[in-house]
Amino acid sequence: MSSSFDDRVLALAGIAQALQQVRRIAETGHSDAAVVHTAMDSVMRIDAPTPAAVYGDPRQLEPGQRLLRDYFRNQGKDELLPRLALAVMQLERRFVREDAAIAKVQAGVQRNAGLARELGDSAHPDVLAAMGGLYADTISQLKPRIMVQGNPHYLGQAGVVAEIRALLLAAVRSAVLWRQLGGSYWDFLFSRKGMLETIERQLRGGG
């Protein structure tokens, strides 16, 4: 298996675990702090040279890899998650054709990365609010717009909405990386077996 194929699996895991947190917080109002940190750090590492550098320790992607493994085995427990992932991939295709939106997102990310350094926390509520606002002002204006289903009680809370938007920004970032690494919808038709084997090997610590 080529290293680029391995890297594509990491990017897909980044999408999966960011969106799992979107689903979780939309339903419960709570998220996994470690996964949110990984997602926010990945957004801020715009110029990272490799996927490993984007996400940090590969073990931080294990939640996403386990999700992918379950879905590739047809054992996924949340039927809305694949639909959300498809919507993000479709939105990414639109986003990368919009130079003005790209420039605005890059400038906003750099600004928010400075805020994260000041606060010493990439997932600080103020950072999540800023990242969520950036998503709302840019990518969220493009079509198809992503509709997140969940508990109306939590979806009516500003902090929850901001965190969901920040995580959607992270998911789009991972989708951009996946495309840059050569990922396409054909992977899901013709490379499922290979991706599953790669995921299982990585989860075993085989690199």
Q: Domain spans of the chain?
A: 3-203
Closest CA to 13 of 56, 65, 54, 74: 65
Mean pLDDT over 18-44 rounds to: 97
Q: Give the tokens for residue 22.
A: 């979107």
The pTM of this model reads: 0.95
Average per-residue pLDDT for the chain: 93
Q: Quote the Cα angle for 194-185-135, to 5°.
A: 115
Q: Where are the beta strands (DSSP E) in the chain?
A: none
Q: Can you tell me the distance from the alpha carbon of 38 to that of 122, in angstroms, rounded to the nearest whole number?
A: 9
Work out the pLDDT band at 5, boundaries 50, 70, 90.
confident
Of 71-85, 161-175, 179-193, the poorest mean pLDDT is in: 179-193
Task: Indicate if the pLDDT at residue 207 is higher than 70.
Answer: no
pLDDT for 187: 86
> In this structure, what token pair is assigned to residue 124?
């600080």
Q: CATH: 1.10.3890.10, 1.10.150.170, 3.20.20.210, 3.40.50.300. Which one for 3-203?
A: 1.10.3890.10
Which range (56-65, 114-123, 168-177, 198-207) has the least confidence? Answer: 198-207
